[in-house]
């Protein structure tokens, strides 16, 4: 499952070198993840309302070339495989056809009341399976 969004780099996301500051890539990844889930009918707000939270437990970023102020970026988010206790995503950020950044995140499903791991709920697995 793959989903693409466009990101316009804002001035406040850059550092003194005019590069997108490295911390913003994690935010971009979150934007892509939430957009992918929304596309298939899954709302983070609804998941949390049902007592489930998804903290990030692993992040990897490979910077190849810098993104700059006012760049038009394409973020491709891909679900790695159907989730179990965890859900994993891969990310690619391009400027036109040029690959700038690769990334990865792993999130875990937790019961929000006791912070214990749980399996991905069936209704979510059903949505992922339809795509």
Looking at the DSSP bridge assignments, the partners of residue 91 are 77, 103
pLDDT at 1: 83
Per residue in 28-47, pLDDT tens?
Answer: 999 999 999 999 999 999 99
Per residue in 39-69, pLDDT tens?
Answer: 999 999 999 999 999 999 999 999 999 999 9
User: What are the DSSP calls for 29-78, one per residue?
Assistant: HHHHHHHHHHHTT--HHHHHHTTEE--EEEEEEEESS--BTT-EEEEEEE
pLDDT at 131: 64
Query: Is 70 exceeded by the pLDDT of residue 114?
Result: yes
- Between the alpha carbon of residue 6 and those of residues 66, 84, 95, 114, 121, the distances in Å are 16, 29, 10, 37, 30
Residue 45's CATH number: 3.10.129.10
pLDDT at 129: 82
For 16-24, the CB contacts below 8 A with 24+ separation are 17/66, 18/68, 18/69, 19/66, 19/67, 19/68, 20/66, 20/67, 20/68, 20/71, 22/61, 22/63
Q: What is the count of structural domains for the chain?
A: 1
pLDDT band per the 50, 70, 90 thresholds, residue 12: very high
Using an 8 Å Cβ cutoff, are 90 and 107 in contact?
no
Element (H, E) at 120: none
- For residue 107, give its domain range: 2-130
Looking at per-residue confidence, does 31 or 129 come out higher?
A: 31
């Amino acid at each position: 499952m793959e989903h693409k969004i466009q990101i316009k780099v804002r001035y406040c996301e850059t550092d003194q070198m005019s590069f997108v500051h490295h911390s913003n890539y994690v935010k971009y990844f979150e934007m892509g993840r939430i957009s992918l889930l929304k596309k298939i009918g899954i709302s983070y707000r609804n998941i949390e309302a049902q007592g489930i939270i998804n903290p990030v437990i692993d992040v990897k970023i490979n910077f190849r070339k810098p993104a700059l102020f006012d760049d038009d970026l394409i973020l491709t988010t891909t679900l790695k495989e159907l989730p179990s206790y965890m859900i994993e995503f891969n990310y690619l950020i391009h400027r036109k056809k040029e690959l700038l950044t690769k990334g990865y995140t792993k999130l875990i499903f937790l019961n929000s009341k006791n912070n214990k791991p749980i399996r991905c709920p069936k209704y979510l697995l059903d949505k992922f399976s339809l795509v």
